[in-house]
């Protein structure tokens, strides 16, 4: 069991921080996190279940590469033995450098352009990087049991997967992905003017268009994301032809990922990072509306 006492012990034994101040952070849907302060320095401590430990180490390797490229990303602090993660209370823990700044909201054009520019820089910086234990695109199984949760769910998810798969992964420009570039993952430091990207919990390799479609989804759709898309394309990781041909398909698939994710959380009563079951239900309903419109099935 992961307790504050076990976390403090791990910080002392693995990272040499016996007197660090620990503040619990809430809101992470896939992990448990704390702010760690010691002698004027600040980190984020992230804990994941053991099954995700190898994936976390891969994500931290990606974050380190981005930080070396000048994109603040929460570079990992190695343990005393040089590892990127440590075990405690049945979890794997990673200690990440604090990324200064305020999270973006994507509410104005300047922020949307900054999201596009920064995401393009991320993809450029990660080009050609190989990371152990990389998860491969894609991970949605239309036969999964939790897709029986609602009558509409399995047919809608299966249709989105089927529509995407004829092109095959080799048809897309591929690379390492963030996989969930919501506006809040981008942090703008008003002092330095630098925009960082946080939440590198895993290393995923797949179509760059998946990240772009994810950013479009969070900004409310293609019409609301025009400035972001144009800024991203200006970085040169994708060309306009591939984007025009595939964005609608990938956006539909991205909503299928949301439906799959929230159906699984509802089925297992996973309330990590949320106030209650209603938030999982809202996530699933948002996906239903995007995949089916307002039809009730």
Give pLDDT, residue 279.
94
pLDDT above 70 as % of the chain = 96
**What CATH number corresponds to the domain at position 252?**
3.90.1200.10
Q: What is the pLDDT of residues 127-168, one digit of tens each?
A: 988 887 788 898 999 999 999 999 999 999 999 999 988 766
Residues 161 and 31 in one domain: no
Last residue of a domain, one of 99, 125, 151: 99
Q: What is the pLDDT of residues 243-266, one digit of tens each?
A: 999 999 999 999 999 999 999 999
Average pLDDT, the chain: 92
Residues 70 and 200 in one domain: no
The span from the first CA to the last CA of the chain, in angstroms, equals 41
Contact 185, 178 (CB under 8 A): yes
**What CATH number corresponds to the domain at position 44?**
3.30.200.20
Residues 44 and 67 in one domain: yes
Which residue range(s) make up the domain with 145?
A: 103-292
Residues 150 and 249 in one domain: yes
Answer yes or no: is pLDDT of 97 > 60: yes
Instruction: Kindly indicate the confidence band of residue 17, based on its pLDDT and cuts at 50, 70 and 90.
Output: very high
Residues 150 and 82 in one domain: no
Residues 167 and 211 in one domain: yes
Residues 91 and 135 in one domain: no
The alpha carbon dihedral of 68, 21, 58, 205 has a sign of negative
- The pTM for the full model equals 0.92
By CB atoms closer than 10 A (0-12, 13-18, 19+), residue 189 is middle
Give pLDDT, residue 294.
64
Give pLDDT, residue 297.
45
**264 falls within a domain:** yes
Residues 157 and 265 in one domain: yes
Give the residue, 221 or 169, on which the prediction is more confident.
Answer: 221
Give pLDDT, residue 49.
82
Residues 147 and 231 in one domain: yes
Q: What is the pLDDT of residues 52-84, one digit of tens each?
A: 888 888 999 999 999 999 999 999 999 999 999
Answer yes or no: is pLDDT of 296 > 60: no
pLDDT above 90 as % of the chain = 78
Task: Classify residue 172 by its DSSP letter.
Answer: S
Residues 88 and 124 in one domain: no
**207 falls within a domain:** yes
Report the domain count for the chain: 2
Give pLDDT, residue 30.
60
Last residue of a domain, one of 78, 99, 120: 99
Residues 115 and 88 in one domain: no
């Amino acid at each position: 069991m992961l307790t504050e006492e076990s976390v403090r012990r791990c910080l002392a034994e693995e990272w040499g921080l016996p007197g660090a101040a620990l503040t619990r952070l809430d809101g992470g849907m896939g992990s448990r996190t704390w702010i760690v302060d010691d002698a004027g320095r600040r980190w984020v401590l992230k804990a994941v279940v053991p099954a995700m430990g190898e994936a976390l180490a891969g994500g931290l390797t990606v974050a380190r590469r981005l930080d070396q490229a000048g994109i603040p990303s929460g570079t990992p602090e190695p343990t005393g033995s040089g590892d990127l993660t440590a075990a405690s209370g049945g979890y794997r823990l990673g200690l990440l450098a604090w990324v200064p700044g305020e999270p973006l909201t994507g509410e104005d054009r300047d922020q949307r352009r900054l999201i596009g520019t920064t995401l393009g820089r991320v993809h450029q910086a990660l080009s050609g990087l190989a990371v152990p234990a990389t998860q491969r695109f894609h991970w949605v199984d239309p036969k999964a049991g939790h897709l029986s949760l609602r009558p509409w769910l399995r047919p809608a998810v299966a249709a989105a997967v089927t529509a995407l798969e004829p092109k095959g992964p080799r048809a897309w420009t591929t690379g390492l992905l963030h996989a969930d570039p919501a506006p809040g993952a981008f942090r703008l430091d008003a002092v330095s003017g630098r925009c960082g990207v946080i939440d590198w919990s895993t290393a995923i390799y797949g179509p760059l268009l998946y990240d772009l479609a994810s950013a479009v989804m969070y900004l409310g759709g293609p019409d609301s994301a025009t400035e972001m898309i144009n800024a991203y394309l200006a970085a040169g990781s994708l060309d306009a032809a591939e984007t025009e041909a595939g964005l609608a398909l990938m956006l539909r698939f991205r909503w299928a990922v949301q439906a799959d994710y929230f159906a699984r959380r509802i089925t297992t009563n996973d309330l990590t990072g949320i106030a209650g079951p209603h938030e999982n239900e809202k996530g699933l309903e948002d996906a239903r509306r995007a995949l089916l419109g307002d039809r009730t099935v």
